Amino acid sequence: MLVEIFPDYETLSERAYEIVATLIRRKPNCVLGFATGSTPLGLYRRLVEGYRRGELDFSKVVTFNLDEYVGLPPSHPQSYHHFMWENLFQHININPSNVHLPNGMVDDIEVHCDWYEEQIRRAGGIDLQILGIGPNGHLAFNEPGSSLGSRTRIKTLSQATRRANARFFGSEEAVPRHAITMGIGTIMEARRLLLLASGRAKARAVRAMLEGPISAMVSATIVQLHRYAHVLLDAEAASELAYNHHDGISEPFDVH
């Protein structure tokens, strides 16, 4: 595992950009896994700027998002579909048919989840999965207690997650109760993981992820088992770590 700690969110986002931009340049048809939420916004802003400067070409890039709320149509301002178009896709030359997000409006969620997994397989698997971490240690919407071998499926959101996301909906009541999410098993099949965490609210979850025992109660701890997990933290998110992860720093692994 490679852990890098940055003074602040902007330097963390700059590093995330370097990593993603390098992959896109080396492998123009790469398959990227995207996350939503506040944390990757600095990265997405930089990807848009990189495209505008002519540094990046997304025309062959294929994308899969981690999750989507059940019951929100793609046009809903809080749907993750809308979030991705608003913050990234509409500003770059991505081919819309290369963009994949779970659809929270389908009748048969089980069939849809199997189809989503099949699309990932057909694309050749995910080269680099971008991840955030919830204050409760969730990865995507794999809430505490999620099977560490889980696949894409419907999950009930925990109260903690609905509380954390109430800021986007105006109230906790308005946050949907269910989401479709890639499973932990699905995420672990990505060739590389790039997990970003910023701010003091994440410090306990980050400590549990990096220094705690692997447990289904903190799904992010599974990254300890991934061969190419790269974790970028700002100083606040790293503030509860006991071990000095800089001691163990190695050269960033190469694209493969």
* Catalytic positions: 67, 136, 138, 143
CB of 56 to ligand F6R, least distance (A): 22
Question: Can you tell me the distance from the alpha carbon of 131 to that of 42, in angstroms, rounded to the nearest whole number?
Answer: 13
Q: Which amino acid does the sequence have at 145?
A: G
Residue 218's φ and ψ, nearest 5 degrees, are: -135, 90
CB of 141 to ligand F6R, least distance (A): 6
Residue 136 DSSP SS3: coil
**Any contact of residue 232 with ligand F6R (CB under 6 A)?**
no
Question: Can you tell me the distance from the alpha carbon of 3 to that of 252, in angstroms, rounded to the nearest whole number?
Answer: 10
112-139 b/e (C-beta count within 10 Å ≥ 16 → b)? bbeebbeebeebeebbbbbbbbbbbbbb
What is the 3 state secondary structure string of 218-251? Answer: EHHHHHHHCCCEEEEEECCCCCCCCCCHHHHCCC
Among residues 202, 193, 203, the alpha carbon closest in space to that of 231 is found at 193
9-38 residues near ligand F6R, rule: CB under 6 A: 35-38
CB of 254 to ligand F6R, least distance (A): 26
Residue 204 DSSP SS3: helix
108-147 residues near ligand F6R, rule: CB under 6 A: 132-134, 138-141
Please pick, from the candidates 50, 64, 67, 221, the single residue that binds ligand F6R as defined by CB under 6 A: 67
**Any contact of residue 157 with ligand F6R (CB under 6 A)?**
no
CB of 8 to ligand F6R, least distance (A): 16
Tell me whether residue 23 or residue 179 sits nearer to ligand F6R (CB atom).
179
Binding mask 178-217 for ligand F6R (x = CB under 6 A): ----------------------------------------
Tell me whether residue 25 or residue 185 sits nearer to ligand F6R (CB atom).
185
Residue least distant from ligand F6R (Cβ): 132
Q: Give the footprint of ligand F6R on this chain (CB under 6 A).
A: 35-39, 66-67, 132-134, 138-141
